């Protein structure tokens, strides 16, 4: 492939000129599936990825849930980690400088237990060098609403997201759960609250039982289903939101493993594609998608990955 | 570089940095049944060159709807011979992944990531080391024994299992140690009972100065307690369900007292070898560590 | 296994003595996955199954959606059949007599386009000999509510189910979709409307795109995801509803293929278990579960399958 | 009876009624590469005894996350020989299932359901039959040709494909017919072009009284139109995506004019052989048949 005809992988994830987000390629990591970045940087230079979305950070450090924390299911896995993380302050002190120094485009994922916590979290990360965007993980329980996750309700979505957008100078993505009756309505609520875009989808709520012992296979009883099993749900959710809000940037994710999977999510409406569980099976998964995408495009005569966005004829 | 390496490509195909773990598509050089176990010898020169005892590799498996790799301790490496650089792993068939791997034979291709995790720290001064293994937990200890002997330490082995055929490679064990002792729960081989029944005697008689252990968590907790009583340094190789094996998913955690406080450390990254006295044995798989109310359905 | 010690497979699916539903074993067919019954009866006597749940019937015959109507996904499949069926009257005339004559316990599945249609359908099947129960498939679009499925909303659930329970003398099960924010709330609405029990879960809404052509892989664009991939979602939904409504009979389904899968759904709270996609892979799937369950129970010392219901320690 | 038949059990294991389709766990007797295709000979006496030309079998496949069977036409049966009762199927590798099957060899075990569907109806009076096949669509026609000849009908074959190596088993074809003609789109074998380019001539010169066709839907539609023009009876074996192959999932439908009106009939149950003039060719894969507004997302 001659240099001139190498397809253009650049994507823009913000329609707001005041808060731009340009990535050299559409492949990013899914939150909670890439730890601090150092772990995979042992294998390759993670600076080549479109961006790194870090594990969701909470205000206080969290030890998370007891083991067992995962179980493999048919073409998928359930996890119940319980948002184990060092807390936002420790991350800012120990991890962000390393990422920034290496030139990694970093998207910080924030998870609050209350609406007010989202604001505090957004304030803590505000102005920190090297943060390209915020992903507000609102698919986590709202302790003020009987543990119902924020993104389960339009109002809670609006409340949490507006706390973040109010204090942030960088683009804000609302990470939504697919476990809702109408995901496009939740996405619209996030947009009303000033979100730059949405991240679709978080894991599906699931459960598995050890029939020999009668005990749940997860310490946390229920957990989040990810991996190839859920890709059809991700494609549908992305398509649904993209059809309702065609201009809204979407970071798509859910079961992506191969270059055609990436293309499928982009055709459904994603501007960028995050990879989670696939990295567990192959530490090079994200890099190989960055490398494989140009060939796929070139072989089919596409000049830019942007041509494919929302291109499904439906 | 191809996104789907494997068949057709020259093996081993290796990808990674100058040091640290790599991913290799490797040929199986030999398959051997050893008692209840299956041993694969895999041509993986980069991994063989970088491995230390106590580290593990993560193997891709096929079949059914499996998507994750399976972790296995390295039980030995060979840098020499016509095939430069092989590693050995030992499998106990417990599910679809191990069944698939046990079905591999010479010339088949396997996809390996490794070496992974923290290995056993070796004594700085010449020392008498007691290595305590349960079931296939003996596997990494044979590799450790070879290295300890090579460096001039005294090695005594104590291997236990449910039955005799689950005592891994007794013959190899005898070759690599000053003394060996076996226990089986059914008494079919060695002393009837558990390793902890005979550990105190052996530790005394050999004059053990350090204990290394690998096996089921219950056994490790018991060995750790005995080591503590005798004020012997003890390094254990722990086992937890692993999602990724490379430190990114946080599923394999073990409650641990770190210098800076209590933490859930990753068996695949900070471990699998951990300092026994820092492991919070009583908190494993309980909410005792959570430090905050555990929300059900808090999926990630 | 001696005859005396053969575990008891009988289950009761109704707490209402006026409308009992006793099955000789808990294995039933999932609606839309067993056609008229004749097709599988070519392989074995379907009278040995706990019950046969027939394809959802509508008032008028329906030709359904254009092909392609299915696509295999990772450990699952998407289908978009469009409720093709001969219409309730033709079924009553041509298919029910055959089932009744063979002594098959038949659960008739009804699907309306409007609330009123559910009543008409229930009236048509009322008093027909051989109908053991009704499954009201309310996971289908309500044309009076912009095509939103009935079971997406508590009110529509109540409206549709009460039309059926009002005129029925047999037990009524509400078949619910997992694509909702709070499935226990929907189940509660069904109970308020007089439902005897609920059937959980219908397929998840999903989509797949042919990246070479840019076209959806289904003629109906989106479709329903079934098969082993969704079992963790089914277990979670059943557990959630059983915890909220412990006395409510549940017909569980979603990705069941093996005897341990059956046990898993029962431990989560199902009283009976329906098998859909597994029959596509093996026409004997249901029969082999009926045959395999007693051995599984006996080997573990269980005397009745009823001991396992809701037995998960969570 | 075991719930997981297969390896270890004597093959063929068969389950089913006295007549109709069965499920058999069968041994592969032979594997053969024929041009671009792979042919498996499978020991399945019950299926061989019950099959008629035009029927198909449904094979379980392994690997990846596949869960459904794959349908294949029966291309021949043998009731004799040391292995009583074998069937032949021909595979074109197009995806994971066909790739797995093409990897089977002698003594491997496959899981077969069949015979399924409606076969070709045979002429009641001695007749001259033109059999038109596209690609692997030739497979069931060879089986039909043998049976037609056996019953004293005249058989002429017309097989087409993209390339010569995709003309299935030309040699066998020549043996079983009064005349044979081949077309390839690239001209690498036989006449350059499509079967429909030469069909009118052949039909005239042979005096064809009936047409049997199997191949891609586009070819079948074109053949059906030519048959209609000539007022020749025409039976086609259609192909649609199949979920179950046994008539219960309703995914494989073809729009069809039945005596009692328009219907979507199942290719696996009412078909795969259908009367060409009743198929509503122009409505395949369109909403033209729907007769009511099609609701998006009306999943089942
Ligand atoms: C550091 C380490 C070293 C190990 N070394 C060996 C060894 O030398 N020999 C050996 O036979 N086994 C070893 N194991 C255990 C081995 O990894 C599991 O038996 C194996 O993964 C089971 O896979 P399966 O598909 O056969 O079983 P399944 O139980 O079906 O596996 C399902 C899932 O659970 C995971 N899993 C199941 N059991 C374990 C386990 N004990 N530890 C971690 N993950 C598990 C699998 O990786 C898979 O994701 C080791 C485990 C760890 C963590
Ligand atoms: C009645 C009938 C007879 C057939 N006879 C033959 C034959 O003799 N030789 C041959 O090579 N092929 C035949 N086919 C096509 C064959 O079934 C498909 O090529 C095969 O199922 C593809 O499986 P895959 O996993 O390799 O591909 P994939 O495309 O990955 O299959 C994915 C899914 O789609 C289904 N599928 C894909 N293509 C087809 C298709 N054309 N028809 C039906 N289902 C499909 C598969 O069954 C599977 O469920 C026949 C199909 C039918 C309906
Ligand atoms: C082990 C694990 C941990 C996760 N942790 C988080 C998290 O902290 N925050 C978040 O927003 N999503 C989290 N997710 C969800 C992923 O980011 C992603 O949305 C989901 O897994 C679907 O993508 P995949 O199928 O590629 O994994 C986690 C997923 C997994 C598997
Ligand atoms: C091809 C197909 C058709 C279906 N048709 C119906 C239907 O008509 N009515 C209904 O209530 N559910 C229908 N379902 C849903 C099933 O009854 C069942 O709820 C779902 O498939 C999950 O079970 P499974 O994974 O065992 O298939 C259909 C499912 C499939 C796969
Ligand atoms: S297994 Fe993923 S962090 Fe250890
Ligand atoms: S393939 Fe299921 S009905 Fe034909």
**pLDDT tens digits, residue range C25-83?**
999 999 999 999 999 999 999 999 999 999 999 999 999 999 999 999 999 999 999 99
Domain limits at D93?
10-116
ipTM of the complex: 0.95
CB burial class (10 A; 0-12, 13-18, 19+) of residue A114? middle
Query: Tens digit of pLDDT for each residue in B190-245?
Result: 999 999 999 999 999 999 999 999 999 999 999 999 999 999 999 999 999 999 99
Q: Are residues B233 and B132 in the same domain?
A: yes
On whether residue D170 sits in a domain, the answer given is yes
Query: Whose Cα sits closest to atom 22 in ligand 3?
Result: A254
The answer to whether D65 contacts B65, with C-beta atoms less than 8 Å apart, is yes
Helix axes C259-268, C285-299, angle to 10 degrees: 70
C chain contacts of residue A233, beta-carbon cutoff 8 Å: 204-206, 225
- CA-based nearest residue to D220, from D246, D199, D242: D199
Query: Tens digit of pLDDT for each residue in A194-244?
Result: 999 999 999 999 999 999 999 999 999 999 999 999 999 999 999 999 999
Q: Is B247 in the pocket of ligand 5 (CB under 6 A)?
A: yes
Query: Whose Cα sits closest to atom 4 in ligand 3?
Result: A32
On whether residue B262 sits in a domain, the answer given is no
On whether residue D61 sits in a domain, the answer given is yes
Q: Is the pLDDT of residue D296 over 70?
A: no
Q: Is D299 in the pocket of ligand 4 (CB under 6 A)?
A: no
Å from CA of C109 to ligand 4 middle: 11
Å from CA of C33 to ligand 4 middle: 6
Nearest atom within ligand 4 for CA of residue C228 = 25
Identify any residues that bridge with B131 across adjacent strands, giving them in sequence order.
B157, B212
Q: Is the pLDDT of residue D5 over 50?
A: no
Q: Is D242 in the pocket of ligand 6 (CB under 6 A)?
A: yes
Query: Tens digit of pLDDT for each residue in B49-75?
Result: 999 999 999 999 998 899 999 999 999
On whether residue B260 sits in a domain, the answer given is no
Query: Quick one: which ligand is closest to B58's CA?
Result: 1
C73 contacts A232 by C-beta, under 8 angstroms: yes
Query: Tens digit of pLDDT for each residue in D42-77?
Result: 999 999 999 999 999 999 999 889 999 999 999 999
The 3-state DSSP class for residue C253 equals strand
List C-alpha distances in Å: A146 to A13, A113, A140, A141, C314: 34, 11, 12, 8, 19
Q: Is the pLDDT of residue D290 over 60?
A: no
D280 contacts C67 by C-beta, under 8 angstroms: no
The answer to whether B63 contacts D65, with C-beta atoms less than 8 Å apart, is no
Q: Are residues B167 and B139 in the same domain?
A: yes
Q: Does the beta carbon of D70 lie under 8 angstroms from any beta carbon of chain C? A: no
Please tell me the distance from the alpha carbon of residue B148 to that of residue C194, in angstroms, as a whole number: 74
**Share of residues in chain D with pLDDT > 90 (%):** 81
Query: Tens digit of pLDDT for each residue in C82-99?
Result: 999 999 999 999 999 999
Q: Is the pLDDT of residue A272 over 90?
A: yes
Please tell me the distance from the alpha carbon of residue A169 to that of residue B284, in angstroms, as a whole number: 42
Please tell me the distance from the alpha carbon of residue B234 to that of residue B229, in angstroms, as a whole number: 11
Q: Are residues D83 and D168 in the same domain?
A: no
Which residue in B has a C-alpha nearest to residue D63's C-alpha?
A: B63
Mean pLDDT for the stretch of residues A58-66: 94
Q: B58 Cβ partners below 8 Å, 6+ apart?
A: B69, B70, B71, B72, B112, B113, B114, B116, B242, B245, B246
Query: Whose Cα sits closest to atom 9 in ligand 2?
Result: D91
Q: D81 Cβ partners below 8 Å, 6+ apart?
A: none
**How many independent structural domains does chain B possess?**
2
Domain boundary at D58, D89, D116, which? D116
Q: Is D68 in the pocket of ligand 6 (CB under 6 A)?
A: no
A124 contacts A88 by C-beta, under 8 angstroms: yes
Shortest Cα distance, chain C CAs vs residue B218, angstroms? 22
A48 contacts A27 by C-beta, under 8 angstroms: no
Q: Does the beta carbon of B84 lie under 8 angstroms from any beta carbon of chain A? A: no
Indicate the average pLDDT of chain D.
89
Please tell me the distance from the alpha carbon of residue B89 to that of residue A16, in angstroms, as a whole number: 54
> Which pLDDT score is estimated for D300?
46
The answer to whether A214 contacts C312, with C-beta atoms less than 8 Å apart, is yes
Nearest atom within ligand 5 for CA of residue A39 = 3
Q: Are residues D186 and D211 in the same domain?
A: yes
Query: Tens digit of pLDDT for each residue in D170-191?
Result: 787 788 889 999 999 999 999 9
On whether residue D165 sits in a domain, the answer given is yes
D chain contacts of residue C34, beta-carbon cutoff 8 Å: 248
Å from CA of C31 to ligand 4 middle: 5
On whether residue D169 sits in a domain, the answer given is yes
Q: Which residues in C have their CB inside 8 Å of a CB on B? A: 74-75, 228-229
Query: Tens digit of pLDDT for each residue in C260-301?
Result: 999 999 999 999 999 999 999 999 999 999 999 999 999 999
Mean pLDDT for the stretch of residues C109-122: 97
D169 contacts D138 by C-beta, under 8 angstroms: yes
Q: Are residues D110 and D135 in the same domain?
A: no
Which residue in D has a C-alpha nearest to residue C280's C-alpha?
A: D244
Q: Is C55 in the pocket of ligand 4 (CB under 6 A)?
A: yes
Examine residue D63 and say whether the peptide bond preceding it is cis (omega within 30 degrees of 0).
no
Indicate the average pLDDT of chain C.
96
C chain contacts of residue D290, beta-carbon cutoff 8 Å: 63-66, 82
Query: Quick one: which ligand is closest to A285's CA?
Result: 3
Q: What is the CATH number of the domain that holds B36?
A: 2.40.30.10
Please tell me the distance from the alpha carbon of residue B162 to that of residue B203, in angstroms, as a whole number: 22
Q: Are residues D106 and D32 in the same domain?
A: yes
D32 contacts D39 by C-beta, under 8 angstroms: yes
Q: Are residues B144 and B104 in the same domain?
A: no
Domain boundary at B237, B270, B293, which? B237
On whether residue B150 sits in a domain, the answer given is yes
Query: Quick one: which ligand is closest to A277's CA?
Result: 3
Shortest Cα distance, chain B CAs vs residue C252, angstroms? 21
Query: Quick one: which ligand is closest to B139's CA?
Result: 1
D chain contacts of residue C71, beta-carbon cutoff 8 Å: 241
Of D247, D253, D297, the CB nearest to C67: D253
Query: Tens digit of pLDDT for each residue in B126-170?
Result: 999 999 999 999 999 999 999 999 999 999 999 999 999 999 887
Q: Are residues B90 and B138 in the same domain?
A: no
CB burial class (10 A; 0-12, 13-18, 19+) of residue C57? buried
Q: Is the pLDDT of residue B81 over 90?
A: no
Domain boundary at D88, D116, D144, which? D116
Q: What is the CATH number of the domain that holds B167?
A: 3.40.50.80
Please tell me the distance from the alpha carbon of residue B252 to that of residue B70, in angstroms, as a whole number: 13
Q: Is D70 in the pocket of ligand 2 (CB under 6 A)?
A: yes
Helix axes C231-244, C183-192, angle to 10 degrees: 50
Nearest atom within ligand 5 for CA of residue B242 = 1
Q: Is D264 in the pocket of ligand 6 (CB under 6 A)?
A: no
On whether residue D215 sits in a domain, the answer given is yes
**Share of residues in chain A with pLDDT > 70 (%):** 99
Q: Are residues B231 and B132 in the same domain?
A: yes
The answer to whether D15 contacts C284, with C-beta atoms less than 8 Å apart, is yes
Å from CA of D150 to ligand 1 middle: 60
| Count of C-beta atoms within a 10 Å radius of residue D173 | 23
Å from CA of B265 to ligand 1 middle: 19
Shortest Cα distance, chain C CAs vs residue A119, angstroms? 25
Of C131, C140, C172, C290, the active-site residue reads C140
> Which pLDDT score is estimated for B83?
67
Q: Does the beta carbon of B95 lie under 8 angstroms from any beta carbon of chain A? A: no
Indicate the average pLDDT of chain A.
96
Mean pLDDT for the stretch of residues A128-148: 91
Shortest Cα distance, chain D CAs vs residue A75, angstroms? 6
> Which pLDDT score is estimated for B295?
39
List the catalytic residues of A. 140
Q: Are residues B87 and B152 in the same domain?
A: no
Nearest atom within ligand 4 for CA of residue C55 = 8
Q: Is A32 in the pocket of ligand 3 (CB under 6 A)?
A: yes
Please tell me the distance from the alpha carbon of residue A273 to that of residue A264, in angstroms, as a whole number: 10
Q: Are residues B105 and B161 in the same domain?
A: no
Q: Are residues D157 and D69 in the same domain?
A: no
């Amino acid at each position: 492939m001659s240099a001139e005809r190498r397809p253009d992988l650049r994507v823009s994830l913000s329609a707001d000129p005041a808060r731009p987000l340009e990535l050299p390629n559409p492949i990013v990591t899914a939150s909670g599936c890439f730890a601090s970045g150092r772990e995979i940087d042992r294998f390759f230079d993670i600076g080549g990825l479109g961006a790194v979305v870090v594990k969701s950070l909470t205000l206080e450090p969290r030890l998370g849930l007891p083991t067992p924390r995962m179980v493999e299911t048919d073409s998928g896995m359930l996890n119940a980690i319980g948002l184990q993380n060092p807390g936002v302050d420790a991350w800012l002190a120990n991890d962000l400088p390393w990422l920034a120094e290496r030139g990694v485009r970093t998207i910080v994922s924030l998870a609050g237990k209350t609406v007010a916590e989202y604001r505090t979290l957004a304030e803590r990360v505000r102005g920190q060098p090297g943060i390209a965007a915020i992903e507000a993980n609102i698919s986590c329980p709202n302790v003020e609403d009987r543990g119902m996750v924020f993104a389960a309700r339009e109002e809670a979505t609006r409340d949490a997201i507006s706390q973040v957008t109010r204090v942030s100078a960088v683009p804000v993505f609302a990470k939504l759960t697919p476990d809702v009756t109408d995901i496009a309505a939740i996405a619209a609520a996030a947009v009303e609250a000033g979100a730059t875009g949405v991240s679709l989808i978080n894991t599906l709520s699931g459960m598995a039982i050890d029939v020999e012992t009668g005990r749940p296979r997860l310490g946390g009883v229920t957990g989040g289903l990810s991996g190839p099993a859920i890709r059809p749900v991700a494609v549908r959710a992305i398509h649904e939101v993209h059809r309702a809000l065609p201009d809204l940037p979407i970071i798509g994710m859910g079961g992506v493993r191969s270059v055609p999977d990436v293309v499928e999510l982009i055709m459904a409406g994603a501007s960028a594609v995050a990879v989670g569980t696939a990295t567990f099976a192959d530490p090079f998964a994200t890099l190989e998608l960055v490398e494989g995408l140009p060939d796929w495009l070139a072989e089919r005569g596409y000049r830019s990955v942007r041509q494919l966005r929302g291109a499904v004829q439906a | 570089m191809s996104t789907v390496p494997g068949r057709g490509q020259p093996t081993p195909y290796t990808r990674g940095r100058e040091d640290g773990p790599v991913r290799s598509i490797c040929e199986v050089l030999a398959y051997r049944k050893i008692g209840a176990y299956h041993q694969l010898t895999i041509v993986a020169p980069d991994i063989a060159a970088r491995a230390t005892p106590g580290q593990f590799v993560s193997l891709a498996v096929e079949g059914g709807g499996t998507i994750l790799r399976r972790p296995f301790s390295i039980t030995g490496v060979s840098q020499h011979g016509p095939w430069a650089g092989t590693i050995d792993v030992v499998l106990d068939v417990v599910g679809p992944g191990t069944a698939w791997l046990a079905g591999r034979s010479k010339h088949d291709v396997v996809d390996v990531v490794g070496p992974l995790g923290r290995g056993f720290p070796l004594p700085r001064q010449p020392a008498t080391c007691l290595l305590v293994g349960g079931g296939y937990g003996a596997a990494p200890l044979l590799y450790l024994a070879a290295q300890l002997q090579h460096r001039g330490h005294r090695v005594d082995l104590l291997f236990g299992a449910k039955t005799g055929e689950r005592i891994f490679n007794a013959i190899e064990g005898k070759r690599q140690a000053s003394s060996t002792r076996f226990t089986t729960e059914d008494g079919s081989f060695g002393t009837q009972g558990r390793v902890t029944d005979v550990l105190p005697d052996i530790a005394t008689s050999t004059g053990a100065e350090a204990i290394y252990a690998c096996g089921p968590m219950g056994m490790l907790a018991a060995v750790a307690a005995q080591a503590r009583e005798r004020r012997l340094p003890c390094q254990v190789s722990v086992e937890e369900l692993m999602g990724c094996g490379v430190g990114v998913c946080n599923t394999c955690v073990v409650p641990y007292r770190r210098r800076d406080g209590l933490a859930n450390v990753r068996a695949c990254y900070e471990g699998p070898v951990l300092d026994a006295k820092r492991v919070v044995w009583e908190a494993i798989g309980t909410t005792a560590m959570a430090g905050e109310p555990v929300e059900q359905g808090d999926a990630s």
